[in-house]
Chains A and B, each alone.
Chain A
């Protein structure tokens, strides 16, 4: 009987495209998409913060829309087109305009929330290319930061909007300057 067979919690093959590359892995139905991406695909830029769909550190684009990958099963993503933070900068090292804005506006401190913030802002600016500061704050409702107090994240989002609208220069950063600064 078909139903009896489906009661066996066997492995499922999940095939997804992540940042333009196709991956196929066997996984348990209870595997959460964020762990599938981090542990089975080795893409650890997507973070696990709260694991309860509150903090937004696990935000990814699933078929073009920002979602929290800790509250989606990997099997639900079968066939999906996914973009993670690893898919934002060019392979040449050129940052995405949103990343560049974070760099310039000091939009991060420890950086744990940043991947989710960048992707949430990507969604926000595609939904509303000219947000007010209040709209940015409302649009980042699903992302928590424990360092910055949000001020510079909001500035980064507004700056990213100006860059994407062509109102603010977006130049390739000097790669030599992009090296991490030595500890003081």
Chain B
């Protein structure tokens, strides 16, 4: 399988790359593990590929004050082996081990996953649970896009056509919180039929706050805010949490395909949300 013909440029800086995106049929490539499969199937046929993969200094992961700053070229493998990730964001550390397989994790990038916005990608759920911003560079300089409004629709984000993610800035998990990422995957592709990221804080044996990200269920990753609110004050026990998470797929255009019907995905989302919340609570108490 070969992609349709395209021209290729490997600029030396993000500014130069932004300049090349003046071409409306240009597309950015970094690890290429989301884009190239689409190009092989000819679902994407860019006329120009702008390869940012050789721009130096974008593969970093560093902890700043309350924020984990992740450069555009940091791969899942980088996340998996980063002590900062393990210390600051338990939920991201767990999810980084679950994306694709080891070889895929060596090329795929967090920033690329977010820009691609696959409805079944793992990382969109995780970054929604953590919260933060996507720092982008475009023709008019830099701006920060809030993650809460970053995912717009299937494969669609609030990035402008000529903007490139330069850094993902995630909130460090609150002290004493627990995080968990659980997914039920399609065994061949490892894409999430449903994936749930949860961050839970406890106070006096009850859930004090919960943040949840859901992927694989609707056309885009989302936060079930009604469930987050319903969990506050609930004891981290099976029946109580089960009752609080029942609405996790309510109001969502739940997707169906040959692997899972909408009803099954909605069911998985309730089961996995309960389990992820309980596991995160257990880790918070641990």
Q: Is A66 part of the binding interface, using a Cβ–Cβ cutoff of 8 Å?
A: yes
Q: Is B103 part of the binding interface, using a Cβ–Cβ cutoff of 8 Å?
A: yes
Are A7 and B23 also in contact (CB < 8 A) when A71-B36, A75-B51 are?
yes
Are A142 and B104 also in contact (CB < 8 A) when A52-B40, A54-B189, A65-B77 are?
yes
Stretch at the interface among B3-11, B87-95, B214-222: B3-11
A3 adjacent to B77 (CB under 8 Å): no
Q: Is B49 part of the binding interface, using a Cβ–Cβ cutoff of 8 Å?
A: yes
Separation of A131 and B235 alpha carbons in the complex (Å): 38
B10 adjacent to A7 (CB under 8 Å): no
Kindly list chain B residues whose C-beta atoms are within 8 Å of the C-beta of A51.
Answer: 1, 40
Separation of A62 and B53 alpha carbons in the complex (Å): 14
CB within 8 Å of A: which B182-201 residues: 188-190
Stretch at the interface among A26-34, A104-112, A153-161: A26-34
Q: Is B144 part of the binding interface, using a Cβ–Cβ cutoff of 8 Å?
A: no
A9 adjacent to B6 (CB under 8 Å): yes
Q: Is B63 part of the binding interface, using a Cβ–Cβ cutoff of 8 Å?
A: no
B48 adjacent to A59 (CB under 8 Å): no
A141 adjacent to B40 (CB under 8 Å): no
Q: Is A180 part of the binding interface, using a Cβ–Cβ cutoff of 8 Å?
A: no
B33 adjacent to A29 (CB under 8 Å): no
Kindly list chain B residues whose C-beta atoms are within 8 Å of the C-beta of A62.
Answer: 106
Interface hub of A32, A54, A76, A123 (most chain B Cβ within 10 A) = A76
Kindly list chain B residues whose C-beta atoms are within 8 Å of the C-beta of A141.
Answer: 101-102, 190
Q: Is A49 part of the binding interface, using a Cβ–Cβ cutoff of 8 Å?
A: no
B7 adjacent to A6 (CB under 8 Å): yes
CB within 8 Å of B: which A1-59 residues: 3, 6-10, 12, 28-32, 51-54, 56, 59
B32 adjacent to A68 (CB under 8 Å): no
A6 adjacent to B33 (CB under 8 Å): no
How near does chain A come to B134, taking the closest CB pair, in angstroms?
A: 24
A66 adjacent to B7 (CB under 8 Å): no
B23 adjacent to A53 (CB under 8 Å): no
Separation of A72 and B75 alpha carbons in the complex (Å): 14
Q: Is A73 part of the binding interface, using a Cβ–Cβ cutoff of 8 Å?
A: yes
Q: Is B116 part of the binding interface, using a Cβ–Cβ cutoff of 8 Å?
A: no
B32 adjacent to A72 (CB under 8 Å): yes
B32 adjacent to A75 (CB under 8 Å): no
Q: Is A129 part of the binding interface, using a Cβ–Cβ cutoff of 8 Å?
A: no
A56 adjacent to B103 (CB under 8 Å): yes
Separation of A62 and B54 alpha carbons in the complex (Å): 14
| Listed A/B pairs (10) with beta-carbon separation below 8 Å | A6-B8, A6-B48, A9-B7, A9-B8, A29-B6, A29-B49, A75-B10, A141-B101, A142-B101, A142-B104
